[in-house]
Chains A and B, each alone.
Chain A
Amino acid sequence: MADSDLRGEAYEAEHVHAVYEQIASHFSSTRYKPWPIVSQFLTTLPPGSIGLDIGCGNGKYLPLNPSIYILASDRSTNLAKIASSHQPQSAIVADSLALPHPLKTFDFAISIAVVHHLSTVSRRREAVAAILGVLRKGGRALIYVWALEQKGSRRGWEEGGEQDVMVPWVVKGPKQVKPRKRKAKTETDEAVSMPVEGGGDRTFQRYYHLYRKGELEEDVVVAGGAVVESGYEKDNWWAIATPRWET
């Protein structure tokens, strides 16, 4: 896994996109609680602001502020369909590296738990550049990625560890009686129980790049942005970025 040259678009198609397409409805049913930083970012925007939710998943952030307009996109058709139910917002299917939006237009953008699914550093920076590219001068993007430093979580990741990992998603089969917490499993357990059938459960592996401290800010700067504010929130790094160019 150390060689990032082996990764890229085709790799993500198999280890990210195909997985989300299959787990869409189950994933969606577990994703309802918005992160506080994201809520705060969206609810403090002035009424009439227009922006994008890039990699919107099931659209859980779309209902937070009905006085702004959000055009959401996801690579998964199944997830975009679920997201499209939130009026007055919209949802489309698009790739974060080929966004179908006019440049230098939007007041804001959010990219929550998306950039960490890109499997090379150049693709991650390209994604950040694409987000900055659609913002008008002074526009702001909130980017949120999984942290390597998660000592408090049961996943056991911490500083100095492997940053490119596969993370299991277990869809409980109907036979399962005793509910077990998905997060309790370690990666090695998963590698063993990987065979798709097992008490009716199905396990899907998703690729993640875990960000170390300061890495997100580096990516923002290399991508042509300036960091307005950044921080750590419950196993994630986040940054509010603005384009550096003059228009």
Chain B
Amino acid sequence: MKLLTLNFLTCARKACKATNAAFPLHPKDAELEIVEVELSPLFVRNILPRVEWEALRTLCQDLGLPQLPATAPEPGELFTPNPSDGVEGEGIEEVGEEGEPTQTLKDLHHVLLETTIREGKLVCGSCGHEYAVKEGIANFLLPSHLV
């Protein structure tokens, strides 16, 4: 499962869901795998405002990945200005409008979409329940006594 996914997951137990301690879930014994995903610069730009940056930072720290900056990159850091901008700027097709994706954007793509947990566990910080990740698929089914 890609790290982006973890930004939208919490404990499945009712009592935990509303608590801050349950989010984000903490990886344990995680085996990482890099899965190549085609770069879509606009997808990365559009999804970034929806990412809880602090949760992503915590996750990267838990996984021993290179530390992320304290705050999310600004939109202006994601594309190099298009040199043709301002010079006959009108009527330029949308494709070129954003300019070239920067290394910052490519790094985000790599962290959010290409870095995946292949095997391991996800632990709830509130109740301690461990959810298994096998072959890249996280399983959130609860044993009946925990529902």
Interface residues of chain A, those whose CB is within 8 Å of chain B, are 9, 47-48, 50, 66-67, 69, 71, 73, 75, 77, 80-81, 84, 87-88, 90-95, 97-103, 105-106
- B137–A81 CB distance below 8 A: yes
Name the 6 nearest CB pairs between A and B, nearest first. Answer: A48-B46, A100-B12, A90-B5, A94-B140, A100-B140, A93-B139
A90-B42 in contact given A80-B137, A100-B140, A102-B10 (Cβ < 8 Å) = no
7 pairs of residues in contact across A and B, judged by CB atoms under 8 Å: A67-B40, A71-B5, A88-B113, A93-B138, A94-B139, A94-B140, A95-B141
With A77-B139, A98-B142 given, can you name 11 additional A-B contacts, CB distance below 8 Å? Answer: A66-B43, A67-B46, A71-B8, A77-B137, A81-B137, A84-B137, A94-B140, A95-B142, A98-B12, A102-B17, A106-B8
The tally of CB-CB contacts under 8 A between chains A and B is 97
- A84–B4 Cα gap in the complex (Å)? 14
Q: How far is the CB of B48 from chain A (nearest CB, A)?
A: 9
- A66–B137 Cα gap in the complex (Å)? 21
A75-B8 in contact given A48-B49, A67-B42, A88-B40 (Cβ < 8 Å) = no
A99-B12 in contact given A50-B50, A90-B2 (Cβ < 8 Å) = yes
User: For the complex, is B111 an interface residue (Cβ under 8 Å from A)?
Assistant: no
| B: number of interface residues (CB 8 Å) | 36
User: For the complex, is B135 an interface residue (Cβ under 8 Å from A)?
Assistant: yes
A50-B139 in contact given A66-B40, A99-B12, A100-B9 (Cβ < 8 Å) = no
Neighbour of A102 across the interface among B5, B13, B23, CB < 8 A? B23
Q: How far is the CB of B13 from chain A (nearest CB, A)?
A: 7
Neighbour of B8 across the interface among A48, A98, A102, CB < 8 A? A102
**Chain A residues with CB below 8 A from B59, complex form:** none
- A69–B51 Cα gap in the complex (Å)? 11
- A80–B138 Cα gap in the complex (Å)? 9
- B136–A84 CB distance below 8 A: yes
- B140–A93 CB distance below 8 A: yes
User: For the complex, is B87 an interface residue (Cβ under 8 Å from A)?
Assistant: no
A90-B11 in contact given A95-B140, A98-B140 (Cβ < 8 Å) = no
- A97–B147 Cα gap in the complex (Å)? 9
Tell me the nearest residue of chain A to B133, going by C-beta.
A92
- A161–B142 Cα gap in the complex (Å)? 36
A101-B18 in contact given A47-B46, A77-B139, A95-B140 (Cβ < 8 Å) = no
